[in-house]
Amino acid sequence: MLLASQAPLGLVIRRGPAKRVATVLWDRSRDEFRLGQWLKGRIYERRSDLSPDGRFAIYFAMNGKWHTEARGAWTAISRAPHLKAIVLLAKGDCWHGGGLWTGPTTYWLNDGHGHDILQEDSEVQRDRRYAPAADAGGECPGVYYQRLRRDGWRSVPIPERRPKSVHQVFEKDVGGGWTLRKTAHASTDHPTGTGCYWDEHELVGAAGQRVACGDWEWADLDRARGRLVWAAHGRLHAGKVDAAGVVDQVELHDFRGMTFEALEAPY
């Protein structure tokens, strides 16, 4: 889930089967969902981002067709929720790639070993003045952690006694005296159904209470609606947070029944 910071919109990147992925527009003001397009390949969601107003997406994708014009892996900018590129940058490998929005129409490119420009568009511009943090760039954490910090998550010390897979810990206040803690893992020895990067979540109360949210694959604060939102088992949920914890929980959408459709973008 990618949330626009200045508009009540979101972009759902729905994966499955492994080599099929769809994008879905989430109108957070009405909790309505509209299918964008499917891709036969892989989108690296941790190297992707939604512009502040929700108009554009930048994403890094791979289909392994190394002898094509896009060289099997590429960074693209599209009009959300669609995937058709208005900016197309061939990569040719899966080192680096993707990027972040630094403004409504300006983006930082996770360039690394370089891209080949296949197509550009005057609607958006590469931000060459943006100076990311020292740990930015590279593979998924180098983009994902920058996005989390930009969007209000704070890094906290990693506990001394921890699984070897724990890579970073982030926290965000979600109201009612509760803090949402996101533990970001990185390991080739990962749970079934996840990639080598995966997150765990728990709620920590002001008095030290801890509520494990073991099946939450993603979670964040929807500031526009003043609620907690999370994904688990292919479904999106929401709930209010008060002193007692998460209340008034509702299921917003079930993405499990989706199947591939060949769709053209309307542009």
Per-residue pLDDT, 112: 82
Rounded mean pLDDT, 225-238: 97
Per-residue pLDDT, 188: 84
Rounded mean pLDDT, 43-58: 98
Say how far apart CA 142 and CA 42 lie, in whole Å.
18
Structure tokens belonging to residue 230: 């999370």
Per-residue pLDDT, 249: 97
User: What is the amino acid identity at position 245?
Assistant: G
Say how far apart CA 147 and CA 99 lie, in whole Å.
9
Tell which phi-psi region holds residue 229, choosing left (phi > 0), alpha (psi between -120 and 50) or beta.
beta
Per-residue pLDDT, 159: 80
Per-residue pLDDT, 115: 96
Query: Do residues 252 and 240 make contact, with C-beta atoms less than 8 angstroms apart?
Result: no
Query: Do residues 61 and 44 make contact, with C-beta atoms less than 8 angstroms apart?
Result: yes
On the question of pLDDT at 42 being above 90, the answer is yes
Per-residue pLDDT, 146: 95
For the chain, give the percent of residues with pLDDT over 70: 100
On the question of pLDDT at 161 being above 80, the answer is no
Per-residue pLDDT, 163: 81
Per-residue pLDDT, 110: 96
In the predicted model, what is the mean pLDDT of the chain? 95
On the question of pLDDT at 164 being above 90, the answer is no
Three-state DSSP state, 184:
strand
CA 93 distance to own-chain centroid: 21
Per-residue pLDDT, 162: 76
Per-residue pLDDT, 135: 80
**In the chain, what are the domain boundaries?**
2-254
Question: In this predicted model, what pLDDT tens digit does every residue of 109-142 receive, in sequence order?
Answer: 999 879 999 999 999 999 999 988 878 888 999 9
On the question of pLDDT at 160 being above 80, the answer is no
Going by pLDDT thresholds of 50, 70 and 90, the confidence category of residue 264 is very high
Q: Max CA-CA distance within the chain?
A: 58
CB burial of residue 156 (10 Å; 0-12, 13-18, 19+):
middle
Q: How many CB atoms lie within 10 A of CB 204?
A: 15
On the question of pLDDT at 156 being above 90, the answer is yes
On the question of pLDDT at 85 being above 80, the answer is yes
Helical H runs in the chain? Answer: 140-150
**pTM for the full model?**
0.95
Per-residue pLDDT, 132: 82
On the question of pLDDT at 76 being above 90, the answer is yes
CA angle 127, 13, 55 (to 5 degrees): 45
Query: Do residues 35 and 22 make contact, with C-beta atoms less than 8 angstroms apart?
Result: yes
> What's the chain's Rg over C-alpha atoms?
18
Helix, strand, coil shares of the chain as percentages rounded to 5?
A: 5, 45, 50
Rounded mean pLDDT, 67-83: 97
Question: In this predicted model, what pLDDT tens digit does every residue of 174-229 receive, in sequence order?
Answer: 999 999 999 999 888 887 778 889 999 999 999 889 999 999 999 999 999 999 99
Q: How many CB atoms lie within 10 A of CB 69?
A: 11
Per-residue pLDDT, 224: 93
Structure tokens belonging to residue 48: 């992707």
Per-residue pLDDT, 56: 98
